[in-house]
């Protein structure tokens, strides 16, 4: 059932292509697959530095042992790529709420449950990733209701057929088991399944002209036992990429090349002869580009001095190209780049064998490093990296092991026979904002109110189980984000948008909302610039599989404690003289102004607060400005005020009807806290009652 589609990441490692990532999407086809492909390409290009770290790891990975390992399907070898693929395949336009299933790296396309084709990404050149689609012989789009010898879409006029070469390509019947570009992939649907295409199916195919396509030969290299067919027009390996390096150089470019060739071998202590060249506006850019094209130049006599010269005014320093960099070289390089440690640095490193916690601490003392993105570190474990992050509150630190946490937690959930292995999951505390508590009072609920107008949440939720199949009753939904690695200011900025699908969804059936809430976790991994961050492991893994058989426990709300914060979001829908908006009640006019206003959320009430406890263990509720003042002391008051204002307005924009925002009062905040405790009690009771029954289900063959 479904429009089943798989997505793969491959790269040329040594003499052949290897699979570095694979996922399954149950509903992906036609223009939707093309859109997801474009989004993933954007993520890959934006995160080229992280991709390089993964490729460096892949180059040293023991592939011979992998090929022989009977348990290789359990490995999470490249978690950053797995995160990018999972997030991108879920779809930004749907709030990342589509359930994505990870696949083992060892799986072949012929072993997949597929009927709508495959998307493949080649990361051999991280700054210029390639893509392709391909269909198998039995793929549904390759079976048009046309004669076997019909190669052109029925009904197309000759005038339309001659518009341009791209349109002509889309009219050709795509071949199975060969690499297809976006136009060729969509052509299969135009011929056989045009009813599945929407009006945007031809959306800007011109945009794809500049995107290099993977040749079929690369697919055959990645899966040598699959029946790929190399056609005469199939490009040789990397020909599209290598073409860029063989363009005729201008005289000016040749002059620059001669200057730089001399520069690498010169005395690093005497670069005065470059003074005139520095008058050229793009000298620094050319030095950086030359080092990126040939990373080993950094190890030449003046390589580090020239890199330091070119990046001396930069805040973001990307060293991911330079595999082989040692800790001592890193210290030397930073002295060249940052001789007067006054500016804030955002540093990305390659995989480094000898990097230790002592080296990092020493660098932090000498330079103002705000964020540090590590590659794989043989001399420093994930636990040691986490200890550094925990011991440096002002530092944002990432490590490939942090990405692996969410991937490993999801695999643990998926393969475990326990009731829920994640109930005992201990997240690594990273953020002072530990959870979002979403309190919703539906229009069909019987609601009591406090004197200040707030809801008596503890009373409203007393008899409401999280597992009831209701649509509009009161509910509390906890979203744990304690282990979010995203910087807090960025987290606050993107949190409202991440909550959009959840806040706008009125259904609380666990089978429906679980992937929506898991989508919140994925939305919190992509910052405003498109950089990828580790998934909040607890949030993602707790909900990504919850409800798969309607008997999985849900995560419990965290205690409100002094020193940590929770965000309360309270949405109250107005009462309405109708049993349920999903019930067709002949006595109610579904086309009336009243019903339309209700459907659009007119009359909704919205209150929020950041809450903690004081020294007397009393619940404290504050607004966004006060919360940010307490947790982001390093930011200027103006920056905090702007961030707080944008946060509240963006949050309002997500609520149906866009009601004005009101600060949740201390009495109502206390009610939400009580309701969360009752919610946890419902889960405990459910687990106690259902555990024996679930054990029987899992032990049976049915």
Which pLDDT belongs to residue 213? Answer: 95
Length of the chain: 702
Buried-exposed string 30-62: b where 16+ CB fall within 10 A, e elsewhere: bbbbbbbbbbbbebbebbbbbbbbbbbbbeebe
Which pLDDT belongs to residue 273? Answer: 65
Element (DSSP H or E) covering residue 254: helix 251-264
Tens of pLDDT, residues 81-98: 999 999 999 988 778 888
- pLDDT (mean) for 150-173: 44
Share the mean pLDDT of the chain: 82
Coil, strand or helix at 572: strand
Which tokens hold the place of 541?
A: 């893994």
Which pLDDT belongs to residue 401? Answer: 92
Cβ contacts of 579 within 8 Å, gap of 6 or more: 444, 585
Interatomic CA distance for residues 211 and 347, integer angstroms:
29
pLDDT for 553 beyond 70: no
pTM of the model: 0.87
Interatomic CA distance for residues 400 and 533, integer angstroms:
10
Contact in structure between 341 and 312 (CB atoms under 8 Å):
no
Which pLDDT belongs to residue 270? Answer: 75
The pLDDT-based confidence of 598 (bands split at 50, 70, 90) is: low
The pLDDT-based confidence of 297 (bands split at 50, 70, 90) is: very high
Residue with more model confidence, 551 or 395: 395
Least Cα distance to 472 among 662, 604, 297, 660 occurs for 604
């Amino acid at each position: 059932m479904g429009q089943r589609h798989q997505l793969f990441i491959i790269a040329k490692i040594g003499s052949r292509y290897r699979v570095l990532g694979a996922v399954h999407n149950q509903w992906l086809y036609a223009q939707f697959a093309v859109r997801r492909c474009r989004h993933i390409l954007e993520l890959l290009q934006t995160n080229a530095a992280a991709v390089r770290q993964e490729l460096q790891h892949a180059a040293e990975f023991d592939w011979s042992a992998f090929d022989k390992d009977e348990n290789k399907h359990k490995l999470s070898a490249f978690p950053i790529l797995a995160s990018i693929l999972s997030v991108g395949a879920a779809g930004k336009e749907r709030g990342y709420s589509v359930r994505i299933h990870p696949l083992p790296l060892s799986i072949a396309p012929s072993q997949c449950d597929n009927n709508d084709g495959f998307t493949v990404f080649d990361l051999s050149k991280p700054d210029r990733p390639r893509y392709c689609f391909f269909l198998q012989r039995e793929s549904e789009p390759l079976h048009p209701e046309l004669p076997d010898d019909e190669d052109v879409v029925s009904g197309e006029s000759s005038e339309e057929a001659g518009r341009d070469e791209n349109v002509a390509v889309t009219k050709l019947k795509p071949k199975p088991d060969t690499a297809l570009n976006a136009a060729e992939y969509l052509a299969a649907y135009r011929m056989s399944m045009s009813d599945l295409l929407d009006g945007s199916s031809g959306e800007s195919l011109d945009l794809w002209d500049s995107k290099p396509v993977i040749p079929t030969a690369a697919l055959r290299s990645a899966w040598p036992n699959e029946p790929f067919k190399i056609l005469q027009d199939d490009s040789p390996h990397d020909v599209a990429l290598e073409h860029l390096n063989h363009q005729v150089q201008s005289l000016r470019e040749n002059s620059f090349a001669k200057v730089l060739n001399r520069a690498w071998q010169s005395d690093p202590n005497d670069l005065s002869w470059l003074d005139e060249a520095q008058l050229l506006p793009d000298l620094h850019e050319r030095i950086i580009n030359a080092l990126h094209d040939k990373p080993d130049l950094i190890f030449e006599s003046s390589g580090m001095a020239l890199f330091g010269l070119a990046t001396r005014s930069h805040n973001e320093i990307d060293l991911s190209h330079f595999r082989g960099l040692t800790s001592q070289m890193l210290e030397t390089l930073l002295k060249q780049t940052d001789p007067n440690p006054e500016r804030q640095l955002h540093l990305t490193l390659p995989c480094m064998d000898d990097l230790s916690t002592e080296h990092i601490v020493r660098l932090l003392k000498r330079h103002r490093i705000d964020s540090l993105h590590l590659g794989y570190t043989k001399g420093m474990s994930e636990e040691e990296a986490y200890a550094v992050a925990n011991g440096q509150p002002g530092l944002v630190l990432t490590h490939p092991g942090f990405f692996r946490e969410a991937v490993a937690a999801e695999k643990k959930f998926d393969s475990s026979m326990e009731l829920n292995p994640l109930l005992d999951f201990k997240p690594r505390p990273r953020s002072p904002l530990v959870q979002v508590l979403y309190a919703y009072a539906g229009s069909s609920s019987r609601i009591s109110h406090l004197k200040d107008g707030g809801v008596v949440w503890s009373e409203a939720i007393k008899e409401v189980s999280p597992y009831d199949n209701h649509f509009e009753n009161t509910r509390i939904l906890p979203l744990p984000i304690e282990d979010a690695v995203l910087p807090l200011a960025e987290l606050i900025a993107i949190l409202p948008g991440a909550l959009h699908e959840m806040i706008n969804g009125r259904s609380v059936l666990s089978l429906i909302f679980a992937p929506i809430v898991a989508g919140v976790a994925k939305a919190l991994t992509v910052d405003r610039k498109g950089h990828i961050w580790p998934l909040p492991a607890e949030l993602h893994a707790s909900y990504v599989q919850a409800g798969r058989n309607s008997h999985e426990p849900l995560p419990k709300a965290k205690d409100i404690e002094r020193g940590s914060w929770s965000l309360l979001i309270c949405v109250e829908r107005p009462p309405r003289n109708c049993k349920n908006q999903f019930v067709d009640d002949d006595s109610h006019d579904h086309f009336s102004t009243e019903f339309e206003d209700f459907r659009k959320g007119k009359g909704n009430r919205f209150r929020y607060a950041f809450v903690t406890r004081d020294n007397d263990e009393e619940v404290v509720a504050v607004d966004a400005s006060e919360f940010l003042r307490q947790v982001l002391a390093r930011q200027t008051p103006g920056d905090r005020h702007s961030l707080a204002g944008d946060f509240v307005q963006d949050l309002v924009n997500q609520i149906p009807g866009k009601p004005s925002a009101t600060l949740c009062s201390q009495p109502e905040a206390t009610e939400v806290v009580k309701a969360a405790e009752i919610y946890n009690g419902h889960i405990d009771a459910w687990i106690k009652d259902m555990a024996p029954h679930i054990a029987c289900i899992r032990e049976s063959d049915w």
